[in-house]
Amino acid sequence: DTGVSQNPRHKITKRGQNVTFRCDPISEHNRLYWYRQTLGQGPEFLTYFQNEAQLEKSRLLSDRFSAERPKGSFSTLEIQRTEQGDSAMYLCASSNRGEKLFFGSGTQLSVL
Amino acid sequence: DQQVKQNSPSLSVQEGRISILNCDYTNSMFDYFLWYKKYPAEGPTFLISISSIKDKNEDGRFTVFLNKSAKHLSLHIVPSQPGDSAVYFCAASGVYSGGGADGLTFGKGTHLIIQP
């Protein structure tokens, strides 16, 4: 069990650029989640996959955000035309049915 | 609307004493509650959980109490140790509460500081 892995750990970008983050869940987990955490707040739900199907999206996920999990294994989260308000820690978590979520260490995004 | 509330942003406790962290929730669809611990620059790590059919769950130094009628839960840490210094998040989930099948709604967290 290698845990949930996220890359990169840190990303600094200029406003207007596109960024992509990767998450590798625990191998036997079929459920994968993306959360966003800003300073002074708890993690906020963004989107959820069961295998390769994206089953739920938060209203926080604007049109500039897209997430994929093409083969039901790793997932990517892309943000297009980044804005300063996108600066946050992006957390990935995975689980098996009815079990607790295991989180990765997150990707800290800074938009300048 | 904050469905899970942690009203104390920070809490300072002396080493060896009991730490009590509180959490309130508003959504009656929540039926499973968890506490996560988070160190800076790391993701949250699971600490302890409780189902709504129970009112207490204990794991070593950590005990979680659930008062369903008051929609309140608390985490007790005894004795508190320096390594317990971290941000503690209360989280809740339920079948129709949103956020995915096992998805969680988090509070804003309480920063626990254990003083020597």
> Which of B6, B89, B103 lies nearest to residue A45, judging by beta carbons?
B103
Contacts 24+ apart (CB under 8 A), B74-78: B74/B20, B74/B21, B74/B22, B74/B23, B75/B19, B75/B20, B75/B21, B75/B23, B75/B35, B75/B47, B75/B48, B76/B18, B76/B19, B76/B20, B77/B18, B77/B19, B77/B20, B77/B21, B77/B112, B78/B17, B78/B18, B78/B19
**Structure confidence by residue, pLDDT tens digits, B79-95:** 999 999 999 999 998 87
> Which of B44, B102, B107 lies nearest to residue A95, judging by beta carbons?
B102
> Which of A42, A98, A104 lies nearest to residue B108, judging by beta carbons?
A42
CA distance A26 to chain B (A): 14
The pLDDT score that the predictor gives to residue B106 is 95
Domain boundary assignment for chain B: 4-115
A-chain residues near B43 (CB < 8 A): 4, 6, 91, 93, 103-106
**Strand partners for B11:** B112
CA distance B64 to chain A (A): 16
Residue B96 has pLDDT above 70, yes or no: no
The pLDDT score that the predictor gives to residue B94 is 83
Average pLDDT over residues A67-71: 93
How far apart CA B68 and CA A77 sit, in angstroms, is 37
The answer to whether the CB atoms of B99 and A101 lie below 8 A apart is: no
- Residue B69 pLDDT grade (very low, low, confident, very high; cuts 50, 70, 90): very high
- Which region among A29-33, A88-92, B12-16 has the lowest average model confidence (pLDDT)? A29-33
CATH topology of domain B4-115: Immunoglobulin-like (2.60.40)
Residue A15 has pLDDT above 60, yes or no: yes
The answer to whether the CB atoms of A56 and B107 lie below 8 A apart is: no
**Structure confidence by residue, pLDDT tens digits, A70-109:** 988 999 999 999 999 999 999 999 998 777 899 999 999 9
Residue B97 has pLDDT above 90, yes or no: no
- Residue A45 pLDDT grade (very low, low, confident, very high; cuts 50, 70, 90): very high
CA distance B24 to chain A (A): 14
The pLDDT score that the predictor gives to residue A1 is 54
Residue B101 has pLDDT above 80, yes or no: no
| Mean pLDDT (chain A, rounded) | 93
